[in-house]
Amino acid sequence: MPDDPSKTTNTGTDPAGWSVDVDPARPGEDRVLVVVDVQNDFCPGGALAVPGGDEVPAVINELSRQFDHVILTQDWHPAGHLSFASSHPGARPFATVELPYGPQVLWPDHCVQDTEGARFHPGLAVRNCELIVRKGYRREVDSYSAFRDNDRRSPTGLAGYLRERGLRRLFVVGLATDFCVAYTALDARRLGFEVTVIEAGCRAIDLDGSLGAAWEQMEEAGVMRG
């Protein structure tokens, strides 16, 4: 799939039974749909597959037609990234280690720059994407959030972009609910944005209860569940 998702073709069908109450776009729109990491490696058959990850493109395609503004994020790791278990001799995927910025879950190698796994899922057909935010491209630090790296010090610039464009209401979808979606939603709330996570457009890893913990944190932070 090309890196420009507007040039893809929607080959999926909308899953039966889902519905989301999202108003159509209006003049002076202040809403933005943030699509998190819908990439091949996070879908079935990928290196870090999220169960049901290939079900979300059809939902997101339909949702995107109701927004004037759509932003995509893309995990974009160099080979040998420190979040990879393979970078730590003897370590196994999904173990936790201490890195200079704090605890880090070790993952299978995934979303390596310029590989097929890093590309957006071929079913994703978002024709009005205006920005792609790449994250995790520094070898020494992971980046779950669309707003800052896991060291909590290095911003991506997304907050400034949203503010300059007058976009204050975020609707977040993508993969995975309990990691990159949750981190993005929580950072957005800390930065003063109104946030709704649209559950039908997300799927989770749920590693040792991480999904329940993520929803609890998001609800405490004022993230709305759509």
**Spatial CA neighbour of 69 closest among 166, 184, 205:** 166
Q: DSSP class of residue 202?
A: E
In order along its 226 residues, the chain shows pLDDT tens digits of 345 443 433 333 344 344 556 666 565 789 999 999 999 999 999 999 999 999 999 999 999 999 999 999 999 999 999 999 999 999 999 999 999 999 999 999 999 999 999 999 999 999 899 999 999 999 999 999 999 999 998 999 999 999 999 999 999 999 999 999 999 999 999 999 999 999 999 999 999 999 999 999 999 999 999 9
Name the token pair of 215. Answer: 């929803």
Told to judge if 135 belongs to the known catalytic residues of this protein, a careful annotator would answer yes
The residue from 37, 41, 54, 142 that is catalytic is 37
pLDDT at 26: 63
Told to judge if 7 belongs to the known catalytic residues of this protein, a careful annotator would answer no
Measured torsion, CA atoms of residues 33, 36, 41, 44, in degrees rounded to the nearest 10? -60
Rg of the Cα atoms in the chain = 16
- Level-2 CATH architecture, domain 5-9+29-77+113-225: 3-Layer(aba) Sandwich (3.40)
Tell me if residue 34 falls in helix, strand or coil. strand
* In the chain, domain spans: 5-9+29-77+113-225
Whether the Cβ atoms of residue 173 and residue 201 lie closer than 8 Å to each other: yes
Is the pTM of the predicted complex or chain greater than 0.85? yes
pLDDT at 12: 36
The residue from 43, 54, 75, 135 that is catalytic is 135
Q: Which helix H or strand E contains 206, and what residues bound it? A: none
pLDDT at 27: 54
pLDDT at 21: 61
pLDDT at 28: 72
The residue from 43, 111, 129, 180 that is catalytic is 180
pLDDT at 29: 87
